[in-house]
Structure 1
Amino acid sequence: MSISGHMPAAPTNIRDLAATASIAEHWHDEHQIVYASSGVLAVHTDRSRWITPAHRALWIPAGTVHSHRAYGVTRLHLFGFPQELSPLPVAEPTALAVTPLLRELLIAYTELGEDRTTPAGQRMRAVLFDQLTLAPERPVQVPAAHDPRLVAVCQLLEEDPSDSRSLEALGRTVGASGRTLTRLFRADAGMTFPQWRTQLRLYHALRLLMEGRSVTSVAQLCGFATTSAFIDVFRRSLGHTPGSYLHSGQTGSGGAPRDSPRAD
């Protein structure tokens, strides 16, 4: 499935994507909330990329050119609305924490079809807007690099998130000093190098968990010093443990939580 170009109205509906399916770059004249109730969705813009597991929804402002990629069989719930109805003053793509109530509202409203225009449907939308105003930002975001030296460093870590070299050591590989790269990360990516690397590792971790990898395996592949350290960073960043993420059914394995270290 692919969509490209300008779509004036942001649709409100449900879409099922096969594993690794993508939706090509496009933009709307309206705002849109994108939520994956199963699977994992990556959303890319020219400035950054986000990954949205079941505990996150992504706010995509009107006019933002973006594309999607599914990891695992993914069910998308798309909620579009005119700019004048916006419940939040959000000008950039923003990842929002999804409470149990917000999750059920997003699922129910996108399933209504033509009934969304009825008084009951309009009341549901009003409650949905109320819940969106209460949803805190909880992103897994990897800002894009533009400076060639920074792009080279980021590419090295994309290829191997477990690479634990310092910024100074990475800089020697691409011909830039650690001080220069530190400055570039703040100016180009809007965050420090450790913050960016943590976001990158979490991004890859969510994808690997979606593939059914164990928590211990994912911690090793993504460069965390210990499984406990991975669990702690995951919980602080996403509000859930990797085990509860697996247990939520996102991997489709139906297995029990696997926060305890174990061998593959």
Structure 2
Amino acid sequence: MSNSRHLPTAPTTSRDLAAASGVAAHWHDEHQIVYASRGVVAVHTDSTRWIAPAHRALWIPAGTVHAHRAYGVTRLHFLGLAQNPLRLDEPTALVVSPLLRELLIAYTELEDAETPAGKRLRAVLLDQLATSSEQPVRVPTARDPRLAAVCALLETDPSDSRGLEALGRAAGTSGRTLTRLFREDMGMTFPQWRTQLRLYHALRLLAEGHPVTAVALRCGFATASAFIDVFRRSLGDTPGSYL
């Protein structure tokens, strides 16, 4: 993201993005919350891709170069913060409760946030953010070229069910080496990374209107019920809620 733009102030606003559109790489001197009340938004940094459906918001620390990508027609809400009330130094996905959802929508659509009512709304919003738990769907980017080659195979076809030994042979390395690299480079095991990758693609496909069974098969789940089970355990809801 070497061609990123410097936009000093992180705006507090809302906007619509057409399906498959985005916001080019940029960075702010302030922190920012990004939330999609409709559709699904992905945020890409140099090291990781994050995706946020309607019950997740993304925390982006000041100075982080990032780009946005919309899947499905998306309504985005941006909250700029000069301070760091969450004390988080890395991009993080936050759980959005029904109350926090309404607060984010209402505050980012205010015409004048400096009124007494606007300031009270902001105070409640910050209180709710401070208690939000972290539940990410994130796909770290490989730095090691051997690992990157394997990841590229699975990016092309998330339904590829081969294990690390078979994938290693295709990429010219061993399964044992790849096991070590996943822990060192990604900070997670291979099964954990593959699940995150499949969920990332599943959210994107659901936002584009694909049926649950088709998404399950395209993302490598043996059955629709297996996909629903992993989805619910990871995201706290069913895939059908995103259609």
Normalising by structure 2, report the TM-score: 0.97
- Asked if 1 retains the 8 angstrom alpha-carbon contact of 2:59 and 2:91, the reply is yes
d(CA) in 1 for partners of 2:187, 2:147: 13
Could you tell me which of 196, 200, 211 is aligned with 1:214? 211
Determine if contact 1:87/1:130 at 8 Å carries over to the other structure: no
Please tell me the residue identity of whatever aligns with 1:137: E
Give the paired residue count. 241
**Which residue number in structure 2 is paired with residue 166 of structure 1?**
163
Structure 1 residue 4 displacement after superposition? 4.8
Say if 2:8 is the partner of 1:8. yes
Displacement of 1:134? 1.2
Instruction: Give 1:136's aligned residue.
Output: 133
Which residue identity is paired with 1:173?
A
Q: Distance in 1 between matches of 2:65 and 2:205?
A: 27
Residue pair 1:161, 1:221 contacting (<8 A) in 2 also: yes
**In 2, Cα distance between equivalents of 1:29 and 1:99:** 28
Larger displacement relative to structure 2 (16-25 or 199-208): 16-25
- Which runs of at least 4 in structure 1 moved beyond 6 Å after TM superposition? none
Q: Is the 8 A contact 1:102 1:131 kept in 2?
A: yes
Please list the CA deviations of residues 129-172 of structure 1 after superposition, one character each: whole Å capped at 9, or x if unmatched: 11011111111100000100000000000000000000111000
Alignment of 1:221-236 (within 5 A): 221-236=218-233
Alignment match, 1:193: 190
Equivalent position amino acid for 1:232 in 2 = D
Q: Which residue of 2 aligns with 1:111?
A: 109
Q: Out of 146, 160, 175, which is 1:178 matched to?
A: 175
Q: 2:33 is matched with which residue?
A: 33
Q: Would you say 1:123 and 2:123 are equivalent positions?
A: no
Determine the C-alpha separation between the residues in 2 that align with 1:209 and 1:36. 15
Question: Post-superposition shift, 1:72?
Answer: 1.3
- 1:252 maps to none
Q: Does 1:90 align with 2:93?
A: no
Q: Percent identity?
A: 76
Give me the whole-angstrom Cα distance separating, in 2, the residues matched to 1:167 and 1:106: 42
Task: Give me the whole-angstrom Cα distance separating, in 1, the residues matched to 2:241 and 2:17.
Answer: 23
Q: CA deviation at 1:213?
A: 1.2
* Distance in 2 of aligned mates of 1:159 and 1:101: 38
- Distance in 1 of aligned mates of 2:5 and 2:241: 38
1:48 has 2:45 as partner: no
1:149-198 Cα deviation digits (max 9, x unpaired):
00000000000000000011100001111110011001111110000000
Task: Report what 2:64 is aligned to.
Answer: 64
Q: Provide the C-alpha distance between the structure 2 equivalents of 1:111 and 1:213, rounded to a whole number of angstroms.
A: 30
What is the rounded CA distance, in whole Å, between the counterparts of 1:50 and 1:180 in structure 2? 26
Displacement, 1:245? 2.3
| Structure 1 residues 6-56: Cα deviation after superposition (integer angstroms, max 9, x where no partner) | 111100001111111111110001110000011111100001001111011
Task: Please list every run of 5 or more consecutive structure 1 residues that lacks an aligned counterpart in the other structure.
Answer: 247-264
Q: Where does structure 2 lack aligned partners over 5 or more consecutive residues?
A: none
Instruction: Tell me if the contact between 1:13 and 1:113 (Cα under 8 Å) persists in the aligned partners.
Output: no
**8 A contact 1:161–1:200 mirrored in 2:** yes
Question: 1:150, 1:4 → 2: CA distance?
Answer: 26
- Tell me if structure 2 keeps the 8 A contact 1:4–1:23: no
The residue type paired with residue 151 of structure 2 is C
- Equivalents in 1 of 2:140, 2:178: separation in Å? 15
